Amino acid sequence: MIEIDIKLGKANFLLDARFKIPAFGVTGIFGPSGSGKTSLLRVIAGLETTAQGRVSVKGREYLKADRALAAHQRRVGFVFQDARLFPHLDVEENLLFGRRRLRKPIIINRLEEFYELLGVTSLLSRDISGLSGGEQQRIALGRALLAEPDILLMDEPLSALDQGTRKQLMSFLEELFQQLEMPVFYVSHSSEEIARLADQLVVMEGGQVKACGDIQRVLSLVDSDLAQSDSSFSVINGVVQQSVSDDVTLVRSEGGQELLLPGAAQPGDIGKQVRLRVRARDVSLCLEKPGSSSILNILPARVVEIAEQSQRGSRTVRLDIGSGAILAKVSDYSVKHLKLGQGMELYAQIKSAALLN
Amino acid sequence: MLPMTLSPDDMTAFLITLKLAAVTTCILLVISTPLAWWLATTQTRIRGLIEALIALPLVLPPTVLGFYLLLALSPDGVIGGFTGFLGLPSLAFSFWGLVLGSVIYSLPFAVQPLQNGFLNVGRSTLEASASLGASPRDRFTSIVLPLSKHAYLTAAVLCFAHTLGEFGVVLMIGGNIPGETRVLSIAIYDHVESIQYQNAHLLSASLLVFSVMILLLVYRGKRQQFSVVKA
């Protein structure tokens, strides 16, 4: 378990966060800027010396009422937004900085293989000046992992990169996280990164934790600030089936629903586990199944919950589609007009679902 | 006719000056390291006061500093009383008295470059190394020192050069004892006083060449460092 119960006072800002989360998988920490995401990571890492409360990771008490471990005594890997490589060391010396301070490396034994996986083999003897942003972040990540921490903290690691590099690194992270046994806290304000990488979610706002738990459950809470916001989205897990035509791919969700996605599947993708992100504003509702529509995915659904609060004339509705829940944004007018109510059977039109791999 | 070699007396003065500058520089680098580190990292309010005290020799006339030091070194003074109590010879009019005066006089030339160098290392780099398991002492030796290499070079050169040209403090607390406290600048002064311009010329010219050489060395080092960053 990872148990956090902390307070950190700063000039006109108070971080007051409390949550418990299993110590495995990737925990996305999501929220608008200024919501305290970075401060939370810094407190866990011991970089905020005035923090009070409790931080416990896998039974190790990093912070308790009467004592705080210094940053170097906690076994926390930190990947910063800016890579923060050491300019006087070459790439390999940077990578080995933390490992050389380990009493005995246990997890990563074959360095060559690790460098290969990281894609830095050809860079090892290079000076760090002249590395691209993506290369720097890979090295920063490798440096943190080689120190074999209890937990890996990543603070917006992709936000300083250009779009292309970002896509590349995201695929890389996704594969890496599947092999990684240590828990990861991944801070981001990008719903795409969170939906794709996180298994659990902590939603923050104004220095407080608004929700926390399994990502699909947290995302489907209709009355949460996140669900009410424009960036509200849901995640569907599925398996790639086949290419239906040159530019459409069939994906079967966990609950057996079939979804069509734009883009052709590569032969290697068939049978692959994927995640789909569905934006709430891309989901609309019909009482009867529309005969012909330009919308690819029309799924039978049941209304589970309708948000009590209306936000700028529309409400968030939670739908059961047989394999977990998705959210839809529906105008107040439509809610009244269609006489939407709990338990109602209808059809959800998903205008576009983004395949996240 | 210009003499082509230094007289034995001038040679001695030259060697004493080099020794004084070298010893002073070494002592300054050692004591300024913790002082500059403290100034670069502390949050206390008295930092401003300490910084002002360290910068004092920059504005104070050397003779004023020398005068107070002379008082302190006298048998009734703070330092003289202490050395007397320990049964040590008086520091006034001795080589080590000059070292003490030079250390105080050149302190800002060591502390300020080091403090700036340490500040340039930046908190973020230190945080990264701390999260990788480096203890405070480890961070200092493996991150701060190597990244402050140029600050150390600058501090060393400034201290050395500043001590080399020192006059007022030396005259006040060291006097002009050949083989003990007679340094170059005082020897030059003496030569001019006794209208031995050729000797004064030779000493002055060698000091000039020496200083230019040192500065060239430093600025070359600086340029190389920048070109590395740019590449």
**Can you give the residue range of the structural domain that contains A163?**
2-219
Contact status, residue A327 vs residue A318, Cβ threshold 8 Å: yes
* pLDDT-derived band at A335, boundaries 50, 70, 90: confident
How far is the C-alpha of A73 from the C-alpha of B61, rounded, in Å?
Answer: 50
Q: Is the model's pLDDT at B230 over the cut of 50?
A: no
Please report residues of A whose CB lies closer than 8 A to that of B136.
Answer: 70, 72
Can you give the pLDDT at residue B231? 32
Whether residues A240 and A329 share a domain: the answer is: yes
Domain annotation covers residue A228: no
Residues A117 and A264 in one domain: no
pLDDT of residue B223: 63
| Confidence category of residue A152, pLDDT binned at 50, 70, 90 | very high
- What integer best gives the mean pLDDT of chain B? 86
In chain A, which ranges are continuous DSSP H helix? 37-45, 91-96, 111-118, 133-146, 163-179, 191-197, 215-219, 225-228, 332-337
Query: Is residue A278 located within the same domain as residue A204?
Result: no
Q: Which residue of B41, B132, B230 to mutate against A (max A Cβ within 10 Å)?
A: B132
What average pLDDT score do residues B192-211 get? 88
Give the count of domains, chain A: 2
Same-domain status, A211 and A246: no
Chain A closest-CA separation from residue B142 CA (Å): 10
**Taking the model in full, what pTM does it have?**
0.79
Per-residue confidence (pLDDT) for residue A355, from 0 to 100: 59
Q: Do A299 and A168 belong together in one domain?
A: no
Q: Does A128 or A271 have the greater pLDDT score?
A: A128
Cβ-nearest to A97 among B132, B136, B146: B132
Check A101 against B228: CB less than 8 A apart.
no
Q: Would you state the pLDDT for residue A322? A: 78
Judge whether residue B227 has pLDDT over 50.
Answer: no
In degrees, rounded to 5, the angle at the alpha carbon of residue A79 between the alpha carbons of residues A76 and A84 is 115
Contact B131 A76 (CB under 8 A): yes
The candidate with the shortest Cα–Cα distance to B131, out of A76, A61, A147, is A76
Contact across the interface for B128 and A130, Cβ inside 8 Å:
no
List chain A residues with CB under 8 Å of B138: 72, 101
The more confidently predicted of residues B42 and B231 is B42
Domain end marker among A194, A219, A244: A219
Q: Which comes out higher in pLDDT, residue B129 or B231? A: B129
Same structural domain for residues A260 and A315?
Answer: yes
- H helix count then E strand count, chain A: 9, 20
Does residue A255 share a domain with residue A206?
no
Residue B166 CA to residue B162 CA, distance in Å, equals 6
In this predicted structure, the answer to whether residue B147 has a pLDDT above a threshold of 90 is: yes
Kindly state the helix (H) or strand (E) to which residue A318 belongs, with its residue range: strand A314-320
A179 and A284, same domain (yes or no)? no
pLDDT for A275 equals 80
Q: What is the pLDDT of residue A172?
A: 87
Q: Positive or negative CA dihedral for B73, B76, B78, B83?
A: positive
Q: Could you say which of A219, A251, A285 is where a domain stops?
A: A219
- B138 and A CB contact within 8 Å: yes
Residue B25 is predicted with a pLDDT of 95
Query: What's the half-sphere exposure (Cβ side, CA atoms, 13 Å) at A344?
Result: 18
Instruction: List the single residue in B with minimal CA-CA distance to A102.
Output: B133
Asked if the Cβ–Cβ distance from B138 to A101 is below 8 Å, we say: yes
Q: Which CATH superfamily groups domain B8-230?
A: MetI-like (1.10.3720.10)
pLDDT at residue B222, as a whole number = 66
Across the range A262-291, mean pLDDT stands at: 80
- DSSP assignments along B50-72, one per residue: HHHHHHHHHHS-HHHHHHHHHHH
Say whether B135 and A47 touch across the interface (CB within 8 A).
no
Question: What is the structure's pLDDT at B164?
Answer: 87
* pLDDT at A76 > cutoff 50: yes
Q: Does B2 touch chain A (CB under 8 A)?
A: no
Chain-chain contact of B134 with A72 (C-beta, under 8 angstroms): yes
Per-residue confidence (pLDDT) for residue B129, from 0 to 100: 94
Q: Looking at beta carbons, which residues of chain A come within 8 Å of B147?
A: 87-88
Query: Residue B176: its pLDDT value, please?
Result: 79
CB pairs under 8 A between A and B: 66
CATH number at residue A290: 2.40.50.100
* For chain B, percent of residues with pLDDT exceeding 90: 38
The C-alpha torsion from A112 through A115 and A116 to A118, rounded to 10°, is 160
Is residue A226 in a domain? no
Residue A221, pLDDT > 80, answer no
**Are A55 and A44 within 8 A, CB to CB?**
yes
Spell out a b/e string for B177-203, using b for 16 or more CB atoms within 10 Å of the CB, else e. Answer: eeeebbbbbbbbebbeeeeeeebbebb
Which chain A residues touch B231 with a CB distance below 8 Å? 127, 129-130
Helix pair angle (B62-73, B78-85), 10° resolution? 30
Is residue A215 situated within a structural domain? yes
Do A135 and A123 meet the contact criterion of CB atoms below 8 Å apart? yes
Six-digit token string for A158: 């992709």
Q: Token pair 């039974």 is at which residue?
A: A59
Per residue in A12-62, pLDDT (tens digit) is: 889 998 999 988 889 999 888 888 899 999 999 999 888 888 999 988 888
Which is more confident, B113 or A249?
B113
Residue B226's pLDDT is 47
Residues A273 and A158 reside in one and the same domain: no
Query: Measuring CA to CA, how many Å separate A357 from each of A192, A196, A312, B200?
Result: 11, 8, 33, 81
Largest CA-CA distance found in chain B, in angstroms, rounded: 69
Which candidate, A177, A149, A125, A276, places its Cα nearest to that of A139?
A125
Q: Is residue A344 one of the residues assigned to a domain?
A: yes
